[in-house]
Amino acid sequence: MSRLRLIIAACAAAFVLVTIFAASRAEAIPAFARKYQMSCSTCHAPFPRLKPYGEEYAGRGFRLEDPSKEPSRATYDVGDPLLKLSRELPLAVRMEGHVAWKENGSSSQSDFESPWVFKILSGGPLSNTASYYLYFIFEEGEVIGLEDAYFQLNNILKLPIDLLAGQFQVSDPLFKRELRLTRFDYAIYKTRVGAVNMDLTYDRGIALAWHAPAELETMLQVVNGNGLALANDFGNFDRDQYKNFSLRLARSFGGMRLGAFGYWGKEKGNNGRSNRTLYWGPDLALGLGEHWQFSAEYLERRDDDPFYANNAGDDLVTRGGFAELHFFPRGADGRWILTGLYNNVDSDDVNARAKTVSLTGNYLLSRNVRLLMEAGRDIEQDKNRVSMGLITAF
């Protein structure tokens, strides 16, 4: 009976939240939509998930393909061709809150998780070839600070090469975690092994994107390899003398995209010993008509001394990935989206193992207010979670 009361209380609270938010129309729209006076659906389906048009727009440094269609009202004419001065600083906000019921073994608990995420975002062109993007985030009751924060230079030396420099996610060329429609994450990207700080989420470095012949998209990344660590006593973000490298190759064939990823890195522990890490694996994104989209990732990771114990022997191996299926009952611009996500990470390090399954329903109350309903199970940890929440961007 206590569990039933918790479920009823959580659902009632969620209903109240939805009613409050839905009663007032959300008139505000994010910065780029305001600039061009376009609907969010031009780039998103639904937000924050990008359509191909939105991916191309971001890849150009937040510019339209035809420069003549850029709105003249967005910048000042100061009589200096070398200065592109925006009339307004482009700012946007994303907020996310949930009501959740969680079960862990024999115990259960309801929880108000609001705000779960609060982001302040900014980005846009600085010149005809330079741009920037960043966001500041409060998440899970803690001020995280800057996560994405980078400069972008397009068409370096008038070649089909773009450069990113700053903070970004190493996994972004594969599947962007920040654009997913589920609360459950892509576990393989967050997996850390032993005492090694290295994973495929945020890091500092540079990335070179080459739009190669035969429509082969190539991205080379060089990063510190230890995440967003604070600067040490010597003023260095990197805690050792090593840099890590990754290479991503991808090509699209109609509605299908095939990719391959490799990563090589080395990290020194506090005791002076070092660990070498190697990732490799394929990925797939497949559009099945206008109603279905399937994505899958597989990665294998090998570490030769992740506990810095100088143990001779075989590599410690981690294998896994995820499969994700989207269903759009009324097409990409419809209001309903259903998503199934399965994660499976197996590792010689028992603490790195993960297995989850979730089903998520999203409904657009308006183009920039999304109702999320999700049920999922962490199989590895024997935990269940049911949640209902609202995500808005303005």
Section 133-153 average pLDDT = 96
DSSP letters of 330-367?
A: T-TTSSEEEEEEEEEEEESSGGG-EEEEEEEEEEEEET
Task: Look up residue 324 and give its two tokens.
Answer: 């994700």
pLDDT (tens digit, 9 = 90+) per residue, 352-386? Answer: 999 999 999 999 999 999 999 999 999 999 999 99
14, part of any domain: yes
Section 162-183 average pLDDT = 97
Residue type, 230: L
Question: What is the total residue count of the chain?
Answer: 394
Centre a 10 Å sphere on the Cβ of residue 386 and count the other Cβ atoms it contains: 19
166, part of any domain: no
Tell me: pLDDT of 194 over 80: yes
76, part of any domain: yes
pLDDT attached to residue 297: 98
Above pLDDT 70, what percent of the chain? 92
Tell me: pLDDT of 149 over 50: yes
Beta strands in the chain (DSSP E): 75-76, 85-86, 91-104, 107-125, 130-139, 142-153, 161-169, 202-212, 216-223, 244-253, 256-268, 274-288, 292-303, 316-327, 336-347, 354-366, 369-378, 383-393
24, part of any domain: yes
21 pLDDT band, cuts 50/70/90, is very low
pLDDT attached to residue 23: 35
Q: How far apart are CA 37 and CA 15, in angstroms?
A: 33
More confident residue, 313 or 20: 313
7, part of any domain: yes
By the 10 Å C-beta count (0-12 exposed, 13-18 middle, 19+ buried), 141 is classed as exposed
Q: Which of helix, strand or coil describes residue 70?
A: coil
User: Where in the sequence is the domain holding 39, given as residue range(s)?
Assistant: 1-147+387-394
393, part of any domain: yes
Tell me: pLDDT of 3 over 60: no
Tell me: pLDDT of 148 over 70: yes
Q: Where are the alpha helices (DSSP H) in the chain?
A: 2-23, 31-36, 52-59, 187-190
The backbone torsions φ and ψ at residue 10, rounded to the nearest 5 degrees and listed phi first, read -65, -45
295, part of any domain: no
Note if the bond before 52 is cis, omega within 30 degrees.
Answer: no
pLDDT (tens digit, 9 = 90+) per residue, 237-291? Answer: 999 999 999 999 999 998 999 999 999 999 999 899 999 999 999 999 999 988 9
24 pLDDT band, cuts 50/70/90, is very low
Q: How far apart are CA 303 and CA 193, in angstroms?
A: 8
Q: How far apart are CA 201 and CA 116, in angstroms?
A: 20
pLDDT attached to residue 14: 43
Q: What is the pTM of this model?
A: 0.88
Task: Look up residue 215 and give its two tokens.
Answer: 């429509």
Q: Which of helix, strand or coil describes residue 23?
A: helix
Tell me: pLDDT of 182 over 50: yes
> Lowest-confidence range among 72-81, 151-160, 351-360?
72-81
pLDDT attached to residue 152: 97
Q: How far apart are CA 335 and CA 245, in angstroms?
A: 40
Location of structure tokens 């999320």: 372
329, part of any domain: no
How many domains in the chain?
A: 1
Give yes or no for a contact between 245 and 228, defined as CB atoms under 8 angstroms apart: no
pLDDT attached to residue 312: 64
